[in-house]
Amino acid sequence: MNLITGAPLVLADTNGWSHMGDMGWGMVIFGWVFMTLIVTLVVWLIWSAGRRPEPSGRGGGRALSLLDERYARGAIERDEYLERKSDLEL
pLDDT for the residue numbered 14: 56
pLDDT for the residue numbered 27: 79
Asked if 49 and 72 sit in the same domain, the reply is no
8 within domain boundaries: no
Phi first, then psi: give them for residue 75, nearest 5 degrees. -75, -25
Q: Is 51 helix (H, G, I), strand (E, B) or coil?
A: coil
Q: What's the total number of domains in the chain?
A: 2
Tell me the mean pLDDT per 10 residues along the chain, length 90: 56 56 74 95 92 61 88 93 86
Q: Is 71 helix (H, G, I), strand (E, B) or coil?
A: helix
Do residues 21 and 27 lie in contact, with contact meaning Cβ atoms separated by under 8 Å? yes
pTM over 0.85: no
Q: Is 23 helix (H, G, I), strand (E, B) or coil?
A: coil
pLDDT for the residue numbered 1: 52
Asked if 47 and 61 sit in the same domain, the reply is no
- Give the distance from CA 55 to its chain's centroid: 23
| Segments forming the whole domain that contains residue 47 | 24-53
pLDDT for the residue numbered 59: 47
Residue 24 and residue 32: Cα distance in Å, rounded?
A: 14
